[in-house]
């Protein structure tokens, strides 16, 4: 019945029976072994209950009553439907084999509803029973002997035999054609089908075997020294790792609870024990602390190999997922106006800005093409640095089943990783670093700085737009005509900017109905942040077009990762959360700063 619960739709014939009972097994050993076996059976019952509960809609407690009372529960089709164990009751089917029900403790009277099988083959001679009573030897009254059956052979009608033979042959041909039909258009299949149909010695099974051989032609194993690999589905250890990870994530509040997850009720201590047992370690005689320490210290050893179901690896996967969940859920602003890059080591990486070559020179009829001077490229540097922290898991955390402690640590680290990038970007912006040409990132020398501050307005925003459009490439040969895409500034000014760039008419004039707003729709994004504490505000171009600040990650790893190492001090295990990254100014043309007022 447990296997039946896996069906998308569970159907039961009207003359079938369904039985549910507690899981059972056997063991040998001392009293502790017996208690351990009982605990194991209870866990199996708990795991099984979710399947019955999901099918029937009953509570786990209601289903557990079937699995813990030690009774075999038999259900007819009608009873099973009433309990929700089946979705549909189908017509009774003939029973063609005897099943001994005497070995069960209790069988309901409904078991007598079985019917005789329908004979679909050729009718065999009918056996007819009669009886003869033994005659008395004397005139005295005597008890008659038990009647002895005498069987008579009733020969079937020849016409009936012929009819049945023809019917069986027609059925054979029809079944063979049905098996071949999906492949009839393939080369050679139609001819093979005709051969099988015409040969009365070829039954349906033999015809299907011939079809398989035909379909497999040309798919023989490749000869030569090639490495062949057979890939199978999810292994038992992988299923265990996936189920345990999902269960811990759900208990941490990071994912939804899955009632079908057989591991959802396991404590961390239970997971540690199961991991040891799956790896083949002998844990008999271990106290709880020793067992937890052994689980936390699981390492590849002779005869074992480390797998995803090993306890430290399970914890590492859980914490990595929790760190990433918190990291991705934490909002940021830097990604809106900074470009993202990748570096392969911790040295300074150069970002080049190549100048334009100007207009193409005219060539006279008899003249020569001139060599064009190429200006030196401007370059700026950006460097990634190692960043990270270590958290430790002690045996006490596992014994106390302190999932909340693990969740809080990993969540805080994930958020801290995202905030660190944000803080470094704004620290660079506030510092206004000196570029390779000797001038500050925002300066009058770069033409992207307004030292006479002004609040955001139609006129001040228009002046910033013009200044950005007038920027020239590093060679001085060509206007870049850069357009603003992002406004960045303090929280107190963000609302005003939304009104200014969203107004159809000039909000700074008395007669708004007569003067259109020249900065309407000037920027696509308005980013206001508490990390800008002064009055200064900025305009940035699309960072993919004219990058100003670049955030680089080592090997493109833009999310934190979790690495494991054994902690000899605590007897537990430590996990290092690391996110190597760097922030640098790589250009100035795509931004403008107003000191504000």
DSSP 14-72: TT-EEEE--------SSHHHHHHHHHHHHHHHHHHHHHHHHHH---HHHHHHHHHS---
pLDDT value at 300 more than 50: yes
Burial 116-150 (b: 16+ CB within 10 A, else e): eeeeeeeeeeeeeeeeeeeeeeeeeeeeeeeeeee
Entry pTM: 0.55
CB neighbourhood size of 226 (10 A): 8
Q: Answer yes or no: are the C-beta atoms of 298 and 316 closer than 8 Å.
A: no
pLDDT value at 119 more than 80: no
Q: Is 578 helix (H, G, I), strand (E, B) or coil?
A: strand
Show the tokens assigned to 416.
């801290």
Q: What is the pLDDT of residues 126-174, one digit of tens each?
A: 444 444 444 444 444 444 455 554 445 556 677 888 888 888 999 999 9
Q: Point out the least confidently predicted range of 55-64, 222-231, 308-317.
A: 222-231
Q: Residues of the chain with pLDDT > 70: what percent?
A: 82
Q: How confident is the model at residue 575 (pLDDT cuts 50, 70, 90)?
A: confident
- Candidates 504, 530, 534, 532; CA nearest to 517 is 504
Q: What is the pLDDT of residues 383-407, one digit of tens each?
A: 999 998 888 888 888 888 888 888 8
Radius of gyration of the chain (CA): 41
* Residue 455 vs residue 572, higher pLDDT: 455
pLDDT value at 564 more than 70: yes
* Residue 496 vs residue 573, higher pLDDT: 496
Stretch 523-527: mean pLDDT, rounded?
Answer: 95
**Distance (Å, rounded) from C-alpha 543 to C-alpha 526?**
14
Output the average pLDDT for the chain: 83
pLDDT value at 123 more than 90: no
pLDDT of residue 177: 92
541: Cβ contacts below 8 Å, ≥ 6 apart: 468, 482, 483, 484, 485, 486, 548, 589, 590, 591
pLDDT value at 229 more than 50: no
Q: How confident is the model at residue 496 (pLDDT cuts 50, 70, 90)?
A: very high
Q: Answer yes or no: are the C-beta atoms of 587 and 380 closer than 8 Å.
A: yes
């Amino acid at each position: 019945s447990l296997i039946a619960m896996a069906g998308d739709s569970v159907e039961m014939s009207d003359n079938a029976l369904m039985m549910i009972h507690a899981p059972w097994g056997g063991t040998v050993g001392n009293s502790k072994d017996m208690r351990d076996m009982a605990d194991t059976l209870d866990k199996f019952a708990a795991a099984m209950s979710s399947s019955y509960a999901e099918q029937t809609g009953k509570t786990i407690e209601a289903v557990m009553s079937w699995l813990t009372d030690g009774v075999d529960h038999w259900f007819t089709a009608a009873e099973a439907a009433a309990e929700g164990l089946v979705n549909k009751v189908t017509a009774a089917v003939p029973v063609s084999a005897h099943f001994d029900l005497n070995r069960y403790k209790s069988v309901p009277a409904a078991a007598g509803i079985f019917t005789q099988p329908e004979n679909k083959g050729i009718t065999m001679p009918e056996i007819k029973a009669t009886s003869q009573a033994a005659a008395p030897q004397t005139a005295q009254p005597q008890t008659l002997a038990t009647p002895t059956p005498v069987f008579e052979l009733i020969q079937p009608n020849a016409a009936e035999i012929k009819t049945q033979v023809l019917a069986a042959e027609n059925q054979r041909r029809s079944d063979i054609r049905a098996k071949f039909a999906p492949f009839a258009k393939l080369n050679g299949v139609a001819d093979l089908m005709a051969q099988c149909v015409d040969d009365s010695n070829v039954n349906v099974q033999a015809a299907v075997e011939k079809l398989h051989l035909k379909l497999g032609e040309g798919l023989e194993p490749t000869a030569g020294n090639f490495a062949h690999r057979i890939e199978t589905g999810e292994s038992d250890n992988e299923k265990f790792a996936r189920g345990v990870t999902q269960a811990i994530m759900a208990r941490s509040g990071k994912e939804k609870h899955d009632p079908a997850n057989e591991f959802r009720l396991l404590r961390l201590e239970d997971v540690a024990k199961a991991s040891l047992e799956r790896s083949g370690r002998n844990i008999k005689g271990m106290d709880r602390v020793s067992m937890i320490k052994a689980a936390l210290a699981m390492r590849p050893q002779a005869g074992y190999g480390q797998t995803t179901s090993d306890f430290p690896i399970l914890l590492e996967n859980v914490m990595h997922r929790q760190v990433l969940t918190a990291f991705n859920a934490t909002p940021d602003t830097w990604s809106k106006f900074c470009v993202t890059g990748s570096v392969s080591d911790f040295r300074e990486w150069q970002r080049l800005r190549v100048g334009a070559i100007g207009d193409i020179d005219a060539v006279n009829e008899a003249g020569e093409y001139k060599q064009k001077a190429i200006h030196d490229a401007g370059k700026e540097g950006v460097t990634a640095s190692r960043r990270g922290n270590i958290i430790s898991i002690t045996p006490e955390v596992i014994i106390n089943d302190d999932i909340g402690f693990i969740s809080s640590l990993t969540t805080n680290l994930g958020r801290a990783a995202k905030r660190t990038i944000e803080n470094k970007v704004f620290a660079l912006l506030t510092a206004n670093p000196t570029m390779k040409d000797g001038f500050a990132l925002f300066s009058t020398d770069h033409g992207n700085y307004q030292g006479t501050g002004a609040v955001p307005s139609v006129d001040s925003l228009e002046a910033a737009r013009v200044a950005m459009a007038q920027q020239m490439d590093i060679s001085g040969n060509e206007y870049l005509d850069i357009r603003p895409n992002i406004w960045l500034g303090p929280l107190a000014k963000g609302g005003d900017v939304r009104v200014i760039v969203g107004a159809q008419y000039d909000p700074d004039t008395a007669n708004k109905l007569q003067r259109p707003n020249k900065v309407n729709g000037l920027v696509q994004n308005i980013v206001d942040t508490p990390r800008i504490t002064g009055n200064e505000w900025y305009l940035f171009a699309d960072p993919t077009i004219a990058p100003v600040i670049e955030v680089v990650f080592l090997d493109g790893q833009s999310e934190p990762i979790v690495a494991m190492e054994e902690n000899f001090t605590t007897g537990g295990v430590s996990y290092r959360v690391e996110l190597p990254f760097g922030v640098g100014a790589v250009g100035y043309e795509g931004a403008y700063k107003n000191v504000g007022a």
